[in-house]
Structure 1
Amino acid sequence: MYVETASLPGDPERPNEDWAATAVPASGLGGVLVVLDGVTPPSVDVGCVHPVPWYTASLGGALTELSASRRDLTLAEVLAAAIRRTANSHSESCDLSHIRTPQATVVLARWDADVVEHLVLSDSVLLLESPDGRVRAIRDDRLDLVPPEVLCSHAATDRLRNAEGGFFTAAADPAVAARAVTGVTPRSAVRAVAALTDGAARWAELFGEGDWADCVGVLREEGARGLLDRVRALELRDARAGGVRRWKLHDDATAVYAEL
């Protein structure tokens, strides 16, 4: 197995709120991939004394450990357990009922000799490449369905956050794990996997430089950092692309590419 990871902050003056990890079990017969994109709050009033990077590191560490050690749990069960563990670690010091309590998007992939399992929650993306080069994008498109005019209002967006008819992120409620997009693919049908936070997925989704198969091709030929460098160049070249759905010139961007 070959794995490459790269991550760049959207602003060098602010901490990177993305988080990524891979793990190879001692048996060497499989692996785990975890990518989180922390949700930046509009203000410091989120009812929590911990910053978003603390949350993504805490949740990401729990997800990595549980995904690798608890093969008896589905990835949805892993996510629920990791959210519960993280919530318990700061429930006495923080108001976890706050709508903007630290939260994140989630991508999980886990594979062994027989299958590749996946889980996606919110707007990061997982790419599965087949031996013949076809690429399937696993996405949770519920945030895409929110009208742009609603996204411009924090209050309106908050009414849809982790709510029926809205969109879902990993925050403090383990029940959100049941809302994730999950599935299983035969291991023989997958030769590579890639996970991208939305800052890295801009190459295809925002700038339209190619389809997902082209994106995997860039990862294979130029590496994860090569893809992120391309995104940064595109962002500087066209600061207006994306309209109201583009919140900032640069976003935290993370890419993980694994050849199985």
Structure 2
Amino acid sequence: MRTELVSEPGDPDRPNEDFASVGLPASGQGGALVVLDGVTPPRTGTGCLHSVPWFTARLGGALTELTVSLPDVPLTEVLAEAISRTARGHADNCDLSHPRTPQATVVLARWSLASVDWLVLSDSVLLAESPAGEVIPLLDERLSLLPRSALATDALVDATLRNKEGGFFTAAADPSVAARAVTGSLPRGQVRALLALTDGAARWVERFGQGDWSDCLALVRKEGTQALVDRVRELERAAAEGTAAGRGKRHDDATAVHVEL
């Protein structure tokens, strides 16, 4: 097995709110990957004393431990326990009912000799590549399918869509959200590689249209995860100079994890 990971902040003067890890059990059989994209909070606050990087570090650390140490527990239950554990760490001092309490998107994958189990919550991306080179996008598309008008302001999103039916879900303080994740399992023999991306790295496809998911994975396989992030940064700079269409943050935290099984 071969792994490659890159994670860069969108702004070198701000902490990276992403988290990424690859865990390998002591048995040497199987493994797991975890990728989180922390949700940047509004200036109006979150009801929490802690930062988003504080939250993603603790949730990511719990997920890394649990995906490896509990190989037979479904990933939804692993995520629920990790959310509960993280919430207990600051429930006494913070308002965890606040709609912007620290939260993150989630990608989990865990493989054994028999299967590759996966979970995606919100708009980070997981790609699975077959031995024949077919790329299967494993996505939670609920956020991308919402009309732009519904996302006009933070207040509107928080009141009507964030962690609500008909909207989209992120991992925050409520463990029941784990049941809302998109999940599945593939036979181990049908997967030769995985690529997990936060939306900052997925911009190469989703925002700038430089290729489809198969092209994206082919770029990473040929040139590496750093090359993907470098290409995204070049495109972001060009967009800021008016040579390409752009919206949202000029630069976002960008994380890519490539695993050849």
TM range (shorter): over 0.9
1:109 aligns with 2:109: yes
Where do 4+ consecutive residues of structure 1 move more than 6 Å?
A: none
The equivalent residue for 1:130 is 130
Equivalent residues in 2 for 1:87-236, closer than 5 Å: 87-159=87-159, 160-236=161-237
Q: Which residue type is aligned with residue 220 of structure 2?
A: L
Query: 3-state DSSP class of the match of 1:43?
Result: coil
The equivalent residue for 2:253 is 252
* CA distance, structure 2, for counterparts of residue 111 and residue 34 of structure 1: 12
Query: 3-state DSSP class of the match of 1:53?
Result: helix
Query: 3-state DSSP class of the match of 1:145?
Result: coil
Q: Which residue type is aligned with residue 81 of structure 2?
A: A
* CA distance, structure 2, for counterparts of residue 186 and residue 242 of structure 1: 40
* CA distance, structure 1, for counterparts of residue 89 and residue 70 of structure 2: 20
The equivalent residue for 1:36 is 36
Q: Indicate the percent of aligned positions where both proteins have the same amino acid.
A: 64
Query: 3-state DSSP class of the match of 1:143?
Result: coil
On the 8 A contact 2:239/2:245 being kept in 1, the answer is no
Tell me by how many angstroms 1:44 deviates: 5.2
Tell me by how many angstroms 1:27 deviates: 1.1
* CA distance, structure 2, for counterparts of residue 201 and residue 207 of structure 1: 9
Which region of structure 1 is more displaced relative to structure 2, 206-215 or 174-183? 206-215
The equivalent residue for 2:18 is 18
Q: Which residue type is aligned with residue 199 of structure 1?
A: G
Query: 3-state DSSP class of the match of 1:144?
Result: coil
Which region of structure 1 is more displaced relative to structure 2, 99-108 or 229-238? 229-238
Q: Which residue type is aligned with residue 232 of structure 1?
A: R
The equivalent residue for 1:73 is 73
Q: Which residue type is aligned with residue 4 of structure 1?
A: E
The equivalent residue for 1:8 is 8
Give the paired residue count.
258
Aligned residues: CA RMSD: 1.1
Tell me by how many angstroms 1:227 deviates: 0.6
Unmatched segments (≥5 aa) in structure 1: none
Tell me by how many angstroms 1:71 deviates: 1.3
- With the length of structure 1 as denominator, give the TM-score of the two structures: 0.97
* CA distance, structure 1, for counterparts of residue 150 and residue 78 of structure 2: 32
Unmatched segments (≥5 aa) in structure 2: none
The equivalent residue for 1:86 is 86
Tell me by how many angstroms 1:242 deviates: 5.8
- For the structure 1 residues 242 and 18, does the alpha-carbon distance in structure 2 shift closer, same or farther, using more than 3 Å as the test? farther
* CA distance, structure 1, for counterparts of residue 14 and residue 172 of structure 2: 21
Tell me by how many angstroms 1:72 deviates: 2.3
* CA distance, structure 1, for counterparts of residue 78 and residue 150 of structure 2: 32
Q: Deviations over 1:46-67 (max 9, x none)?
A: 1100000000000000001000
Tell me by how many angstroms 1:165 deviates: 0.8
Tell me by how many angstroms 1:208 deviates: 1.0
* CA distance, structure 2, for counterparts of residue 44 and residue 112 of structure 1: 44
